[in-house]
Amino acid sequence: MPQYRYQSRSASGRMQNGVMTAQDAATAASMLRSQNHHVLQLSPALASKSEVSSMLKKLNYSSGPTQKDILDFTTQLAVMIRAGISIRNALDGIADQMQNQNFKKTLIQIKVDIEAGKQFSEAISRHPRLFGPLYVNMVRASEMSGSFARMLDRIAAYLAQEIETRRMVVGASIYPGVIATMAIGVTMFLLTFVLPKFATVFKGKEAALPGPTKFLMALSNFTVEYWWVMLVVALAGVIGFLAFIRTELGGFWWDKFKLTAPLMKRMFRALYISRSLHTMGELLNAGVPMLDTLSITADVSGNRLYHRMWRAVHSSVKQGRKIQTTLGRSNLLPKSVVQMISAGEESGKLGEVLDEISTYYNKLLRDAIKSVTSMIEPLMIVLMGSIVGFIAMAIILPIFKMSSLVSGG
């Protein structure tokens, strides 16, 4: 039951403070009045530090498992299977030490399904939000070939690389965002706090002010008077943009923009090519059928244009054509990559060729991220310097002008 902190005055006039447990606030007040107390203040009691800690811990543990949790689970399961532990005992042991309660329930359910006679691949396929088609199909292929532990190692390596790739891309995206936020913050501070102080100095001399100063003063006045309008417009713009790119048309435009943006296109192209070919290579080497491989590759590519390309390849292969027939008509893969895929397809070593190409493009992605970061840093510094310099110039110019008029007079 909830607790309420109260302050009351007894019939004798004595003040009393305390905490009491009641079904609701009305019940708590009624209980105090029944004791001949006049209620002065009644409010819900704040949770203690231990209760807050317990609540936070519960919230953290009940949140959904991350990709890192899936990686840790896969790695542990591979080690235990290789040590000769049965999959049921392995799942039982991992679930016992699992802190994330949602993931623990999932593992227990998987164990129950296996005890009911289901294959591991079938059991995990019932949880598609945690175990995607790539994971399920690679496990299913290993169950047929008898290389379960080795396949789990391959899946763990794949997940580790995907986590590292995502970390690098997010890191490269955060840096310019932080710098841009600082630039906007500094500009708003100057416009709302610094420039208004100079407005009194220039009052009555507006006609003699140079153009940059007039523009800046007008912008400062607008910002001070209508800052809330700018805030609403900015929030509406962000929300509208996020809503737009979630639509099919907006998402297609955004994915295309990422492949054509001057600074970012090299990084994003390397990301999508590396992810697609790495996924395709892993699935083929695991023994997953070609059509299933192409379908999964399209789903995990992460870009609508690449998704459409791989779906076209899937339809082409389904009709009996070769992979390079469709890839050769697309400009999303370099011609050299298409030629290597064609050579691998002809020699029957497509999986090995794809592994080599994806490794090369993963290295290219790292280099592209470093290049983007090194190029954005000086650009942002120049941008911030230009903004601050323009504001300083607009303030100093009229001061110099008035000084020259005074000295000339």
Tens digits of per-residue pLDDT, 303-330? 999 999 999 999 999 998 888 888 888 8
Whether residue 38 has pLDDT greater than 80: no
Name the residue among 67, 55, 196, 38 with its Cα closest to residue 130: 67
Neighbouring residues of 63: CB distance < 8 A, sequence distance ≥ 6: 100, 102
Q: How confident is the model at residue 18 (pLDDT cuts 50, 70, 90)?
A: confident
When pLDDT is averaged across residues 184-207 and rounded to a whole number, the result is 76
When pLDDT is averaged across residues 185-208 and rounded to a whole number, the result is 76
Q: Give a yes or no: residue 199 inside a domain.
A: no
Q: How confident is the model at residue 26 (pLDDT cuts 50, 70, 90)?
A: low
Domain co-membership, 138 together with 7: no
Give bridge partners of residue 2 from the DSSP assignment: none
Domain co-membership, 134 together with 211: no
When pLDDT is averaged across residues 71-93 and rounded to a whole number, the result is 87
44, 3 contact by CB (below 8 A)? yes
Domain co-membership, 284 together with 242: yes
Between 265 and 205, whose confidence is greater?
265
Q: Give a yes or no: residue 190 inside a domain.
A: no
> In degrees to the nearest 10, what's the CA dihedral of 76, 358, 164, 380?
180
Name the residue among 228, 73, 36 with its Cα closest to residue 160: 73
Q: Give a yes or no: residue 78 inside a domain.
A: yes
Domain that holds residue 249: 204-396
Domain co-membership, 384 together with 297: yes
Among 162, 184, 213, the domain-final residue is 162
Q: What is the spatial distance between Cα 242 and Cα 229, in angstroms, rounded to a whole number?
A: 20
Q: What is the spatial distance between Cα 170 and Cα 29, in angstroms, rounded to a whole number?
A: 53
CATH number at residue 152: 1.20.81.30
Average pLDDT, rounded, for the chain: 82
Percentage of the chain modeled with pLDDT above 70? 87
Domain co-membership, 215 together with 360: yes
pTM of the entire structure? 0.70
Domain co-membership, 292 together with 152: no
- Count the domains in the chain: 3
Tens digits of per-residue pLDDT, 267-303? 889 989 988 998 898 888 888 888 988 999 998 888 9
Domain co-membership, 226 together with 373: yes
Domain co-membership, 220 together with 146: no
Q: Give a yes or no: residue 377 inside a domain.
A: yes
Q: Give a yes or no: residue 306 inside a domain.
A: yes
CB neighbours of residue 99 within 10 Å: 10
Q: For 386, phi and psi rounded to 5 degrees?
A: -65, -40
* DSSP track, 133-199: HHHHHHHHHHHHHT-HHHHHHHHHHHHHHHHHHHHHHHHHHHHHHHHHHHHHHHHHHIIIIIHHHHH
Whether residue 95 has pLDDT greater than 70: yes
Three-state DSSP at 36 gives coil
Q: Give a yes or no: residue 195 inside a domain.
A: no
Tens digits of per-residue pLDDT, 139-166? 888 887 777 888 888 888 888 988 888 8
Domain co-membership, 41 together with 95: no
Among 105, 134, 162, the domain-final residue is 162
Domain co-membership, 273 together with 389: yes
Q: How confident is the model at residue 54 (pLDDT cuts 50, 70, 90)?
A: very low
Name the residue among 219, 250, 161, 151 with its Cα closest to residue 387: 219
Q: What is the pLDDT of residue 96?
A: 85
Q: Give a yes or no: residue 386 inside a domain.
A: yes
Domain co-membership, 36 together with 66: no
Whether residue 61 has pLDDT greater than 50: no
Domain co-membership, 130 together with 252: no
Q: Give a yes or no: residue 384 inside a domain.
A: yes
